[in-house]
Amino acid sequence: MPAVEARSGAAFAGNRRSLMPALGTWTFIVTFSGQGLRNVVGWWAFGVIAAISGVVLFVVFMREGHRVPLRALPPVASAYTILCMASVIWSHYPRETILAGLLMAATTAAGILLACGLSLRELTDALSRALETTLVLSLLLELYVALVLRHPLIPVYMDDWGDVPPSYIWVEGKILQGGPIQGVVGNRNPLAFIALLTLLCVAVRWRDHRLRFISLMLWTALSVATLALTDSATVIVAAAVCGAVMIVLWLLRHVPVDQRPTVIVAASTAGVALVAFAVGRHSQVAALLGRSPDMTGRWEIWQKVLDLWEQHTFLGWGWIMYWVPWIPMFSTLVIRPDGTPTLSAHNAYIEALFQTGVVGASLVVVLAVLLVFRSFRLAVRYLDSDASVLLPALLITAMVVQSMTESRLLSEGNWVTVCALIRLACSRRSSHSGSWAAAASRFCRTDQKVWSCLDIFSSGFFRNSLALFE
């Protein structure tokens, strides 16, 4: 496979250095660490920072000669974004839906711009730098609170609140006690997920010979330490699944090409069996992870959300992203032990079902399936020649697992990453010769035993869908 990467806007100023990689890093920092910024400057100031960042990204993108062809728009992700924005028509909280819809459009656009303006390797590097920055800032903040401040840190805009509920505390400062820690993002679960994504990025970059061994050891140590200090059960499961995927991919490299379909089928069958076992024995699995059988109260949340969804099954209640506590239905829907309301459904698919109905949830499921299928097919196709294409498969694996107990797949940094990856996966332009879709099609013809059934669904339906945008 050719080593030279193609880029739109390559003619930009000849030897002048592009600003897109730096802006990509900043975009991922703002979207993955947005809560930290909001805790410092407040919501309105954060909105201004995010808006300015988006405008700068767009201006630089255009000035450097990049373009977004109509066929580059990811149909499923774009359709879901449009549905979220259109839901203001039937929303039960229209003002909040307008704002949430604009945020959804902004994050979707950011992901598409990054995918059109950066090669896969540049996108990987930008994401990795952003995650590493967030990780370092989180650990430094935890040490500052533990060693200097010596009392829990609350968001700046809550200074005049008086008595702040425990769930609203930014950093508790328990890093020297073994955790759990919250970092700049203010929550152990997203911080643990950031640590996992960092680990995946540095592993692939090292395998692609773009990271020194000492850097690999440093970032691995920081990521593993963060995972241990956050003690997030969901991320532990996601890490285990990603580890299993990496083992399978490593085994495939040492298996003759004609035998790889058998290995893939066997691994897929084993994976489905393990998932079925975990679902059937969820109580035992939860106990093994040190969690309650109701998954830390999530069963109650899901039941109440599904009860609400049954009242508006087709299009849902309207897009809102995060549940805002000043809306009466959310302020009393599920109350946490400290008396504060729960702010999400803690499941991306149930969240989509509740806010955008069967139509929206179907789009999210199709998007997840398409991402998994395309990314893994490409990873296997270039397994022997290019390590960088392994990262999308690993990132999507981690996100799909996290989406079972968190709703963050549909917002901020996760959604930006999803839109970037799905644009790359379905694009006719690739960071490699030809397109991802074309490469996947060639591989599909080579390994009919594995992909023939799936190709009817993906390369048939979705290829025809893409044709509508060309």
What does the pLDDT look like over 224-280, one tens digit per residue? 999 999 988 888 888 988 998 888 888 888 787 777 778 888 887 887 787 777 766
Of 90 and 389, which is predicted with more confidence? 90
Q: Which of 194-203, 214-223, 309-318, 374-383 has the lowest mean pLDDT?
A: 374-383
Residue 366 and residue 80 in contact, taking contact as beta carbons nearer than 8 Å: no
pLDDT digits (tens, 9 = 90+) for 100-135: 999 999 999 999 999 999 988 899 899 999 999 999
Residue 169 is assigned to a structural domain of this protein: no
Q: Mean pLDDT over residues 53-65, rounded? A: 93
Beta strands per DSSP E along 320-359: none
pLDDT for 463: 41
Q: What is the rounded CA–CA span in Å between residue 462 and residue 441? A: 12
Model confidence at 39: pLDDT above 80:
yes
Residue 384 is assigned to a structural domain of this protein: yes
Residue 403 is assigned to a structural domain of this protein: yes
pLDDT for 182: 93
pLDDT for 383: 77
Residue 149 CB neighbours (<10 A) = 12
Which range marks the domain in which residue 444 is found?
A: 75-117+287-470
Residue 220 is assigned to a structural domain of this protein: no
Label residue 435 by pLDDT band (50, 70, 90). very low
pLDDT for 419: 92
Question: In degrees, to the nearest 5, what angle opens at C-alpha 325 toward C-alphas 321 and 326?
Answer: 110
Question: In degrees, to the nearest 5, what angle opens at C-alpha 32 toward C-alphas 294 and 383?
Answer: 90
pLDDT digits (tens, 9 = 90+) for 188-202: 999 999 999 999 999
Model confidence at 410: pLDDT above 90:
yes
State the pTM of this model: 0.85
Q: What is the rounded CA–CA span in Å between residue 203 and residue 300? A: 38
Of 437 and 165, which is predicted with more confidence? 165
Q: Mean pLDDT over residues 315-344, rounded? A: 89
Say what percent of the chain tops pLDDT 90: 47
Who contacts 116 (Cβ-Cβ below 8 Å, separation ≥6)?
8, 61, 66, 67, 68, 72, 423, 429
Model confidence at 470: pLDDT above 70:
no
Q: Which of 286-295, 313-322, 459-468 has the lowest mean pLDDT?
A: 459-468
Model confidence at 80: pLDDT above 90:
yes
Label residue 71 by pLDDT band (50, 70, 90). confident
pLDDT digits (tens, 9 = 90+) for 395-409: 999 999 999 889 999
Of 155 and 387, which is predicted with more confidence? 155
Model confidence at 434: pLDDT above 60:
no
Residue 443 is assigned to a structural domain of this protein: yes
pLDDT for 440: 38
Model confidence at 20: pLDDT above 90:
yes
Average pLDDT, the chain: 82
Q: Mean pLDDT over residues 412-419, rounded? A: 93
Specify the residue for token string 């490469």: 439
pLDDT for 291: 65
Q: Which of 18-32, 70-84, 423-437 has the lowest mean pLDDT?
A: 423-437
Q: Mean pLDDT over residues 422-433, rounded? A: 54
Number of domains in the chain: 1
Model confidence at 6: pLDDT above 50:
no
Q: Mean pLDDT over residues 164-174, rounded? A: 88
Q: Of the segments 17-21, 53-57, 337-341, 378-382, which one has the largest average pLDDT value?
A: 53-57
Label residue 282 by pLDDT band (50, 70, 90). low
CB-neighbour burial class of residue 312 (10 A; exposed 0-12, middle 13-18, buried 19+): middle
Closest CA to 106 of 156, 49, 154, 147: 49
Residue 319 is assigned to a structural domain of this protein: yes
Residue 91 and residue 97 in contact, taking contact as beta carbons nearer than 8 Å: yes
Torsion over CA: 320, 324, 329, 330 (sign):
positive
Residue 294 is assigned to a structural domain of this protein: yes
Of 267 and 460, which is predicted with more confidence? 267
Q: Mean pLDDT over residues 398-422, rounded? A: 91
Q: Mean pLDDT over residues 51-69, rounded? A: 92
Residue 397 is assigned to a structural domain of this protein: yes
